[in-house]
Amino acid sequence: MKRKSERAITRVVIATGISSVVTQLLIIREFLAQFQGNEFVIALILFNWLILGGIGTLLARWVTRRLWKATVNRLGWLSLVLAGLPAVQILIIRQFRDVFFIHGSSVGFYPTLTFTFFTIAPYCLVLGFVLPYSLFVIRTENPDYPGTRIYIIDNIGDVSGGALFSFALVFLVTPLQAVCLANLLLVLSTCLLFRVSSRHHPAVYLGTGVTVAILAVGIFLEPTSLDPSKGKLVFYSESRYGRIQVQQDRDQFTLFVSGNPLYGNQNLSMAEETIHYPLAQLHQINNILLISAQGGMMVELEKYKPSSVDYVELDPQIANVQFRFGLIKKIPGLNVIHQDGRAYLAGSDKIYDAIIVNLSEPDTFQLNRFFTDRFFALARRHLAKHGVLSFAMKGYDNYLAEPQRRKLSSLYNTVTDYFDNVLLLPGQKIFFLCGSQPLRTDIPALLAKKGIHTRYIRGYYYGNLTHERIERLNALIDPTAPKNRDYSPQLMRLMFMQWFAKFSTSPTGFIVVLAILSLIYLIRISAEEFVLFSTGFTVMGSEILVIFAFQIFFGYIYLQIGMIVTVFLAGLLPGAWFGDRLRYKSKQTLAVADGLLIVLMGLLIIVLKQGGDYLPVAFFLVFGFVISLICGFQFPVALYLRGGDAPAVTRTFSADLIGAACGTLVTNVVLIPYCGIIWSAAGLIGLKLCSLIVMVVLHEKN
Amino acid sequence: MKKISRRHFLYCSAGFLCSAVQANAFWPFSAEAGAAAGPADIRGHVFKGDAPEKLWKWTHEGYFYTKLDNKLVMCGICPNRCLLSPGDRSVCRSRINMDGTLYSLTYGNPCSMNVDPIEKKPLYHFKARSKAFSIATTGCNFRCLNCQNWEISQAKPHEVRHYELFPADVVKTAQSTGCESIAYTYSEATTFFEYMIDTARLARDSKIANLWISNGYINQKPLLKLCEVLDAANVNLKSFSDAIYRKLNGGRLQPVLNTFKTLHEQGVHFEMTTLIVPGYVDDAEMVKQMCRWILTNLGPDYPLHFLRFFPRYKLDRLPSTPISTLVRFRKLAMAEGIHYVYVGNASYPEGNNTYCHNCKKLLIERIGYFIPTYNLDGNRCKYCRTVIPGRWT
């Protein structure tokens, strides 16, 4: 009987791991679709998730000792709650957004922080609570059961959940279907748990039935929960990169990607500006490269009768939907390529007359890569002598605000290293035209000479882009602004500034509160917990760094990035197994592991500085695996050093989670944007050095 | 009565539940609730203790305010009627109470100035084909979520780069750039009232027209003073619903309607602009009510512009307005009896042109700001000699 219930609890823990990772990924996607999808928000959601998990874990011991004894039955009920909550949570996020915020408006930093915190709090607290609670339940029957084992079992679930979502569910089902599938496993394992504990009470059947009903009803309600308030939803799909929706309002189709109205079929002015400003400069137009395209662009391109148009779109669904709903049309010579634009250029020998980058603002690491020194160098190599590169930033009507001025200056200074002539045109967006030949501003005259007819440019250019406006914009560029580099993404920092300026807020209050809380926490924890805190920090930090670096060298390749995320989880398993074996060697092994982490991060710095371009994909996979292996290794050792009892378990679990939370936030929004990739890695080394010193000092004291 | 079996009951219940789910019977939030949901009022607030310690060069004592006890002052420019203690800053961010006196901080320091075609304001019935010297300082008494000039309208004077251009310099610059008018525009001109009216007086003396491009949120007294020097205005009628005014703009409807009445009574030429925000302002019934109010209170001759919405500033998660909606509203407004209705920010040539309200012939063809056809003879239709409302010369 003892072994039976242990087995049943093990199944529940694995199912919880699967469900939690699937839910986490779905919730992140949901928030990105409902709020701004910048790197700050992504980090904020992960931070909230991990910190709440950590708090839940910390609460487990206190609650179990004072209020709620650990029993199999109660674990079963908790698991049922955990299985039902994700569906409710997703529906709440979708509906409560428009209850608390004005429909159609974007939301600033503090409201996002508050909303994400409170909507995921119930689930994350219970989730964090369940893992140590499961251990306490097992220990009621088997007091010697090692805490490490539950950690390993949970990791098996996490790895499986990550792989299940990234390689299967995301391709096959909608969010609430995925929630249902992932949580049915948990419901099933919970049923088996109740069976083992011989609970045949009607309440158990009712609870299980209600949970299954919630999961099923979630699927039914999914289409309704996505309905737009205006017009109708004529297309909905979850691609691996985000949510794709097409809304129809009368004769207008608007493509929404992750909640943002990206392109429409009636944006003639934007299509004209994007195509004609660069192409008007050229005498001879044969080959054109479009990195992403929007409504009406192909019609404008066709006027030049180019022999080939290579249209690169990372997400095949975006291209398909645009063709299907008439946003862009198929023109002669069009060649659609589904690949990361930068990766495509790196692997192609083709020379173009014009490269038109039609991407949105660089508010994520992925997008930033199209506005860096190395990208501009790459683009230059693929342009004919007379060729033109064009890209655009958000525009302004009558006043260029300071963060935007710095952003444009940074871009200008970066691109002028590769092009002799750079012209900024203040249209609806600010268009950068870059070429080796002199660039002209009298676009309507150039178009008239070519016999190309336009509606917007012909009528509005001379009123909106007056000579004074163009001159004033170009004069406002600050030549001392730092350049935007792959390794040091200045633009990200400026994008954050701009985001805060838009909402007239500053993150200072949040940073101060966080720093004080972190300080209090760090003062109160033991040396072993600090090691785990710093390891959690380093693992998440290095995962973000590795994904960032991978994208620089290889482009955004969904499956390979999914694999990197998976190996960062997968290493924990064998690591914990080894750690469990070697835990008796105690402090030295912990210190050696810290030393190894330092060496590895040092290696990453050297490799990136010396030969990042020549690295094979395997390097990133092996690196991630070894980092997580060491992290997994440290956990049982630290737990052993802390005594392995109930308080030790909750405190070590939570130290790991809180460290991971801080690592995510700090690396994403402070280290990389402000210090660059190399110094971020150095920062992680610094943290690990502190942890090593703490261990050595403690060792000597003992 | 036929008995129902347990199985039959279960089948029926399941069927009922399924149909109820499909009909969203259990769904507490209707999709149409979008416009009604969220905070109901986004009105701005006084910035307590936010005034600068010292006055700067571009300070000017306010023209309309009341001194109260304990050095309190109440600004009288706009319906916000900010009650300021010493050291406070007004809702519009441009006015402060310094030791019991109200000062404007935006006198002679525009942060934006351009030479624009007059059609860009938009003013379609005022000196067509002329240029307007356009200036703005920081500040606005509204908080529009879709503001296209939020970088200056939602900023304090010291937060931006600015020029130094006192009223006499503005007039000189307008003259030197060949502009026939000065437009007080971009942010909210009412908030730099002192600067605007002093400039306007000088401009009038120099035969330069004064254009007020505004949200119309102004009190009666300052407006009457302004009308003395005003030649034309374009005033936003952001919607015809007080609830939407409060929700999207942080203002109220009635004071804006009062402004239209005053302008009409004072004989100032004005044009009205309504931005059609999908899900909020694109309600045909509301547009009809608005047109009826215009006809009853102002008559059919003031031009009305329906502008296309684009996602901007904080209201950036809505689609643009379908062009067909604008076309429909134009037809609807004309059917109600308004003579001149235009469609802006959209590629719909007919909606940009002026047709005689009597003979329906094309008077002014506009391709953007470019006017290839002009069939007015003075202020009359070249074909039927009907007087076309506006100030044409």
Report pLDDT for B356: 97
Q: What's the confidence (pLDDT) of residue B67?
A: 97
Say whether A234 sits in a helix, a strand or coil.
Answer: strand
The whole-number average pLDDT for the span B63-91 is: 97
**Residue B312: closest C-alpha in chain A:** A105
* pLDDT of amino acid B117: 96
Identify the residue whose tokens are 């504990």: A197
Nearest to B149 among A250, A269, A397 (CB): A397
Q: Do B320 and A252 touch (CB under 8 A)?
A: yes
A267 interaction partners in chain B (CB closer than 8 Å): 320
CB distance A462–B369 less than 8 Å?
Answer: yes
The pLDDT-based confidence of A565 (bands split at 50, 70, 90) is confident
Contact B34 A103 (CB under 8 A): yes
Question: Does pLDDT of A276 surpass 70?
Answer: yes
Q: Which amino acid is at B377?
A: D
Q: What is the mean pLDDT of residues A60-85?
A: 88
pLDDT at site A297: 95
B372 touches chain A (CB under 8 A): no
CA distance A490 to chain B (A): 22
Q: Note the pLDDT of residue A348.
A: 95
* Model confidence at B33: pLDDT above 60: no
Contacts of B119 in chain A (CB under 8 A): 463
Whether residue A487 has pLDDT greater than 60: yes
C-alpha distance from residue B134 to each of A183, A184, B118, B153, B181 (Å): 61, 64, 10, 15, 8
Percentage of chain B surpassing pLDDT 90?
A: 89
C-alpha dihedral over A329, A335, A340, A343, to 10 degrees?
A: -150
How does DSSP classify residue B351? G
Q: In the prediction, which pLDDT does A1 show?
A: 46
Contacts of A459 in chain B (CB under 8 A): 366-370
Minimal-distance CA residue of chain A relative to B136: A398
| Residue A268, SS3 per DSSP | helix
Does B9 have pLDDT greater than 70? Answer: no
Best mutation site among B89, B147, B151 for testing chain A: the one with the most A CBs within 10 Å?
B151
pLDDT in tens, A533-558: 998 899 889 988 888 888 888 777 77
pLDDT average, residue stretch A503-530: 88
Structure tokens at A395: 């525009």
User: Which of residues 113 through 152 in chain B touch A, CB cutoff 8 A?
Assistant: 114-117, 119-120, 134, 136, 145, 148-152
Which element (helix H / strand E) includes B334?
A: helix B323-336
* Neighbour-count burial for A541-557, b at 16+ CB within 10 Å, e otherwise: bbbbbbbbbbbbbbbbb
| CB of B89 less than 8 A from some CB of A | no
Q: Which of the two residues, A474 and A141, has the higher pLDDT score?
A: A474
What local confidence, expressed as pLDDT, does residue B12 receive? 54
Tell me the per-residue pLDDT of A104-158, one tens digit each, with 9 for 90 and over: 999 998 999 999 999 999 999 999 999 889 988 998 888 888 878 888 888 889 9
The verdict on whether omega for the bond into residue B28 sits within 30 degrees of 0, i.e. cis, is: no
Is residue B166 over pLDDT 80? yes
**Nearest CB to B31: which of A106, A229, A462?**
A229
B117 and B97 Cβ atoms separated by less than 8 Å:
no
For A193, the 3-state DSSP assignment is helix
Short-list A178, A204, A210, CA closest to A191: A204
Q: What is the total residue count of chain A?
A: 702
Q: Which residues of A touch B32 (CB under 8 A)?
A: 229
- Is the distance from CB of B305 to CB of B344 less than 8 angstroms? yes
Residue appearing with tokens 């790991």: A656
CATH of A261-483, one of 3.20.20.70, 3.30.479.30, 3.40.50.150, 3.40.50.300: 3.40.50.150
CA distance A465 to chain B (A): 10
**Residue-range domains of chain B with CATH:** 112-345 (3.20.20.70), 353-393 (no CATH)
Of B151, B317, B368, the CB nearest to A399: B151
User: Residues of B with CB below 8 A from A360's CB?
Assistant: none
3-state helix, strand, coil in chain B (%, to 5): 30, 20, 45
Instruction: Specify the pairing of strand B380-381 against strand B376-377.
Output: antiparallel
Contact A98 B29 (CB under 8 A): yes
**pLDDT score at B1:** 47
Burial of A299 (0-12, 13-18, 19+ CB in 10 A): middle
Kindly determine whether residue A95 and residue B28, on different chains, have CB atoms separated by under 8 Å.
yes
Torsion of CA A64, A65, A66, A70, to 10 degrees: 40
- Residue contact A229–B148, C-beta within 8 A: no
Give the pLDDT score at B21.
Answer: 46
* pLDDT reading at B2 higher than 60: no
Q: For residue A471, what is the nearest residue in chain B, using CA coordinates?
A: B114
% residues pLDDT > 70 (chain A) = 97
Single out the residue of A275, A274, A238 nearest to residue A258, CA to CA: A238
| Most confident among A359-368, A502-511, B173-182, B342-351 (mean pLDDT) | B173-182
Nearest by CB: A95 against B29, B32, B160: B29
Q: How far apart are CA A46 and CA A28, in angstroms?
A: 8
> Position of tokens 């290493």?
A571
How many other CB atoms are found less than 10 A from the CB of residue A449?
10
Q: For position A683, what pLDDT does the model report?
A: 94
Q: Where residue A578 falls among pLDDT bands split at 50, 70, 90? A: confident
pLDDT in tens, A301-327: 999 999 999 999 999 999 999 999 999
With beta carbons less than 8 A apart as the criterion, state whether A162 and A569 touch: yes
Burial of B63 (0-12, 13-18, 19+ CB in 10 A): middle
Sheet with B65-67, edge to edge strand ranges? B65-67, B73-75, B83-84
Residue ranges of B 40-59 with Cβ closer than 8 A to chain A: 42
Q: B304-308 and B269-276 as β-strands: parallel, antiparallel, unpaired?
A: parallel
Q: Which of B45, B112, B314 to mutate to test the interface with A (most CBs of A within 10 A)?
A: B314
pLDDT, mean of residues A67-93: 91
* Same-fold call for A1-226 versus A506-702: yes
Q: Which of A53-67, A467-481, A617-631, B1-15 has the largest mean confidence?
A: A467-481
Q: Which comes out higher in pLDDT, residue B13 or A278?
A: A278
Higher pLDDT, A577 or B132: B132
A365 pLDDT above the threshold of 90: no
Given an 8 Å threshold on Cβ–Cβ distance, is B317 in contact with A105? yes
Kindly list the residues from chain B whose CB atom is less than 8 angstroms away from the CB atom of residue A101.
Answer: 38-39
Q: What is the mean predicted confidence (pLDDT) over A462-483?
A: 94
User: What pLDDT, on the 0 to 100 scale, is given for residue A67?
Assistant: 79
**Residue B374: pLDDT above 70?**
yes
Query: What is the CATH number that goes with domain A506-702?
Result: 1.20.1250.20
Exposure of A466 in the CB half-sphere (CA atoms within 13 A): 16
Q: What is the Cα–Cα distance from A87 to A694, expressed in whole angstroms?
A: 44
Interface contact B320-A267, CB threshold 8 A: yes
Q: Is the model's pLDDT at B183 over the cut of 80?
A: yes
B230-240 confidence digits (pLDDT tens): 999 999 999 99
Cβ-based contacts of A104 with chain B (< 8 Å): 34, 278-280, 315, 317-318
Is B316 close to A105, i.e. CB distance below 8 A? yes
**Which sign, positive or negative, has the C-alpha torsion A28, A32, A37, A38?**
negative
State the pLDDT at residue A701: 57
Band of the pLDDT at A583, cuts 50, 70, 90? low
Q: Which residue of A has its CA nearest to B282?
A: A230
Residue A214 has pLDDT above 70, yes or no: yes
Domain coordinates in residue numbering, chain A:
1-226, 261-483, 506-702
Nearest-angstrom CA–CA distance, B136 and B186:
6
Token readout for A32 is 């990105």
pTM (2 decimals)? 0.90
Residue A2 is predicted with a pLDDT of: 57
pLDDT digits (tens, 9 = 90+) for A589-647: 888 888 898 999 999 899 888 876 777 888 888 999 999 898 888 888 887 877 767 77
- Asked whether the predicted pLDDT for residue B4 surpasses 70, the reply is no
Please state, for a pLDDT cut of 90, what percent of chain A lies above it: 54
Could you count the other beta carbons within 10 Å of the beta carbon of residue A652?
Answer: 32
Within 8 A of B31 by CB-CB distance, chain A residues are 224, 227-229
Contact A423, B173 (CB under 8 A): no
Taking an 8 Å cut-off on Cβ atoms, the answer to whether B368 and A220 are in contact is no
Q: Measure B355 CA to nearest chain A CA, in Å.
A: 19
- pLDDT tens by residue, A387-441: 999 999 999 999 999 999 999 999 999 999 999 999 999 999 999 999 999 999 9
Q: How far is CA B316 from the centre of its chain?
A: 19
Residue B352 per-residue DSSP state: G
Instruction: Give the separation between CA B15 and CA B18, rounded to whole angstroms.
Output: 5
Amino acid at A244: I
Report which residue type is found at A295. Answer: G
In angstroms, what separates the C-alpha of A529 from chain B's closest C-alpha?
43
Q: What is the pLDDT of residues A223-264, one digit of tens each?
A: 888 888 788 999 999 998 889 999 999 999 999 998 999 999
pLDDT tier, A3 (very low <50, low <70, confident <90, very high otherwise): low
> What is the distance between the alpha carbons of residues A73 and A199, in angstroms, rounded to a whole number?
8
The Cα A656–Cα A532 span in angstroms is 5
Give me the pLDDT at residue A526, please: 84
Nearest to B31 among A102, A227, A249 (CB): A227
Tell me the CATH architecture of domain A1-226.
Up-down Bundle (1.20)
* A103–B319 CB contact, under 8 Å: no
Question: Nearest-CA distance from A344 to chain B in Å?
Answer: 31
Nearest to A105 among B145, B155, B319 (CB): B145
CA atoms lying within 13 Å on the CB side of residue A34: 27
Least confident stretch, A280-289, A414-423, A585-594, B381-390:
A585-594
Q: What six digits make up the tokens of B267?
A: 């004989």
* Percent of chain B clearing pLDDT 70 (strictly above): 91
Q: What is the mean pLDDT of chain A?
A: 89
Q: Using the beta-carbon criterion (under 8 Å), do B325 and A456 form an inter-chain contact?
A: no
For residue A98, list chain B residues with Cβ-Cβ distance below 8 A: 29, 33-34, 37-38
Q: Is B284 helix (H, G, I), strand (E, B) or coil?
A: helix
Q: What is the pLDDT of residues A371-382, one digit of tens each?
A: 999 999 999 999
Mutate to test the interface with B, among A397, A456, A497 (most CBs of B within 10 A): A397
Q: Among partner residues B38, B111, B325, which is closest to A98 by beta-carbon distance? A: B38
The size of the A-B interface in CB pairs under 8 A is 169
pLDDT per residue as tens digits for the range B297-341: 999 999 999 999 999 999 999 999 999 999 999 999 999 999 999
Taking residues A570-581, report their average pLDDT: 84
Check residue A573 and give its pLDDT: 85
ipTM of this predicted structure: 0.89
* Shortest distance, CA A166 to any CA of chain B (angstroms): 28
